[in-house]
Chain A
Amino acid sequence: AQSVAQPEDQVNVAEGNPLTVKCTYSVSGNPYLFWYVQYPNRGLQFLLKYITGDNLVKGSYGFEAEFNKSQTSFHLKKPSALVSDSALYFCAVRDPSGTYKYIFGTGTRLKVLA
């Protein structure tokens, strides 16, 4: 069965410092992986995805993520955090050999401190 784990409920980082939000997954085949961001009282917004190809993918607002097949991880990163990056971040996975369902992690709240 597919699953996604986001081991940290909250990550605090100082403005200007690099940030990492962790995600690990479990699927039977090669995964499609996604990161979404949710601001208060809003729907989720797509940040970036890994489908195939280069393990380092770049997305919106300066975010990037690295697909690591051996560690089954897809951590979200940004070199320099902004206060406006404070939000709830979700990792999601889909097994392309299976159904069209997506499985979401429980979310990580990022707090960037001025």
Chain B
Amino acid sequence: NAGVTQTPKFRILKIGQSMTLQCTQDMNHNYMYWYRQDPGMGLKLIYYSVGAGITDKGEVPNGYNVSRSTTEDFPLRLELAAPSQTSVYFCASTLRDAHEQYFGPGTRLTVT
């Protein structure tokens, strides 16, 4: 199993540009999550999904959108990038009855 994979690893965006962060898991996990990690702030939940076709907002959803058309994929869309979205983004997945999360390697995004 590859686990949770994320692409790209790094990206620099200009203010106002759009992009999609990709996340795929091959463990047949039910739940998937997007977090952002800012220095000294821990992880903040952006969006999560409990299954294909079902998504819900986390603590910091503004400026982001998600979709979950398959069990494996959970892309995160930034429509109009702002400097405040400079962060490291992590995707995670969980099997419903196991509870612990498996994390991808992260995407480091800079918006200038």
Interface residues of A (CB under 8 A from B): 9, 32, 34, 36, 41-46, 49, 51, 90, 92, 94, 99-107
Contact B103 A45 (CB under 8 A): yes
Total inter-chain residue pairs, C-beta < 8 Å: 54
Selecting from B35-43, B62-70, B79-87, the interface stretch reads B35-43
Question: How far is it, in angstroms, between the C-alpha of A36 and the C-alpha of B42 when the chains are bound?
Answer: 12
Instruction: Count residues of B near A (Cβ-Cβ below 8 Å).
Output: 24
Find chain A residues with CB under 8 A from B56 CB. Answer: 99
Check B43–A32 contact: CB distance below 8 A: no
Chain B residues within an 8 Å CB radius of A45: 103
Question: B90 and A106: CB pair below 8 A?
Answer: no
The answer to whether B104 touches A49 (Cβ under 8 A) is no
Closest B residue to A106 by beta carbon equals: B42
Which residues of chain B are within 8 angstroms of A36 by Cβ–Cβ distance?
Answer: 101, 103
- A76 → chain B closest CB, angstroms: 15
CB-CB under 8 A from A32, the residues of chain B are: 99
CB-defined contacts of A94 to chain B, threshold 8 Å: 99
Q: In the complex, which residue of chain A has the Cβ closest to the Cβ of B94?
A: A100
